Amino acid sequence: MEQKLLVEKLVAGGVSLARNDDGKVIFLTGGYPGELIRARRLNTKRDFELWEPVEILKESPFRRRKLCGSFPSCGGCDWQDLEYQEQLKWKKIIVEEQFRRIAKIEVVIPDVVPSREKHYRNKMEYVAFHSSGELNLGLKRKASDRPVQLDGCVLGNVPFEDLRKRFQRLLNEHSVKPYNTKTKTGNLKHVILRKSSRDEIMAILITKKSEFLELRPIEKRIKSEIPQVNSLIHVHNSRDDVNLRGPYRVLYGEPVLTEEIDGILYQIPPTSFFQVNTWIARKILHYVSGVLSERKHSNLLDLFSGVGLFSLYLAESFESVLAVENSAVSVKAFESNARINQLENVRVLKENVASFLKKAHGKYDVVFIDPPRSGVGKPITMITRLKPSILVYISCNPTTLARDISYLMRSGFRIEDIRAFDMFPQTHHLETIVILKHPLSL
């Protein structure tokens, strides 16, 4: 079934919105505002019609040449062939629309802070799969678990695409078998590359089994033939629902990647989270630091602290800092990072954030919360008992952000400022910071 559709706008989730002849909303996997598209339906759901473009009958003036040979089938990018300023414009509109639709409030945010448009990611997770008779290292297709071969990817740091090809060639020469999630055969699941702004590169090989028979000769060749790789890690991950998790061992080099932001050092273990766009992470830190500099604060509570990005950077502005993090690996890294930065006013608890909030008491001047994409939900209202003067909410998902902010506002918090940062160019994703205050805590 095919139909001509006029794209009205871009919406949350990286899809486009159009309407059929009866005025019913239809979502498209591609297409930009103002474009006339011939499309075909992909699903049979009556309440959520998803269509894909077959032919562009009238192009947007903001459509440009794509930046790599794998777009649009590759799921790494959503809007790669849309002019960058238009990407920023629509990200701003989507954030404002999510607050209007979900939180039932009108907000106007400043223009989205732009990033370097290409080669901004300090981490790339390549999935291993079998294609054309050999092992390939690629990314997953849009809205699919099926991988796609890469051709000139522009997301990863400059060396990554060349390193990906060299790893792919070397692994094939040793007849390494990729793991197949359906047949449960093979072993290699992912190859992950991480790079710091100090030009350290860590390569991580993830396997389904703890045994990796081909590893010894592969390790020797990587060390001698790919000298750009400073450390090589083997991770055993038997789970299929997550990529970067499980026990690991260092084959050579350092067991951590060291990042530096304005003189603060962060040692990042192979399986720990860190912001993928260091350049924008620095911009966010500068913004938040500026907000907090307006008055003196005694203590900081940092929820979902990770390895300490915010806690350590801001520690000197507080008498004391308490961080809460549930990952044992990240907690250990946090403690190490506090030591190497000689910060004695910082401590971290290994605990689930929701559990911590249920029993937390006392007053915290400033509370930071940087949850996963799923957000927090109703338990976020427990923060009210801590009487923070300032609450800083950092989110990579405008939908769950708007939901959580609505809960906080019902608890008496008021929005002081909202800023958006383009952490993920060429995609629909971004990072949004909301500054809130509670009148009873001032």
| Active-site residue list | 396
The residue behind tokens 């923070």 is 388
Bind-site residues for S-adenosyl-L-methionine:
275, 304, 325, 370
Q: Which two tokens stand for residue 274?
A: 């860190």
Distance CA(432)–CA(421), nearest Å, equals 6
Distance CA(231)–CA(202), nearest Å, equals 5
Q: What amino acid occupies position 374?
A: S
Angle between helices 215-225 and 160-173 (to 10 degrees): 140
Helices then strands, counting H and E runs in the chain, come out as 8, 21
Distance CA(392)–CA(415), nearest Å, equals 10
Strand ranges for 157-252 from DSSP E: 188-195, 201-207, 231-236, 248-252
Q: What amino acid occupies position 306?
A: G
Helix residue ranges, H only, 19-159: 84-98
Length of the chain: 442
DSSP structure class, residue 326: -
The candidate with the shortest Cα–Cα distance to 326, out of 302, 291, 342, is 302
Helix residue ranges, H only, 293-327: 309-314
Q: Which two tokens stand for residue 73?
A: 């089938």
DSSP structure class, residue 179: P
Distance CA(70)–CA(66), nearest Å, equals 9
Helix residue ranges, H only, 199-277: 215-225
Helix (H) or strand (E) holding 240, with range, is: none
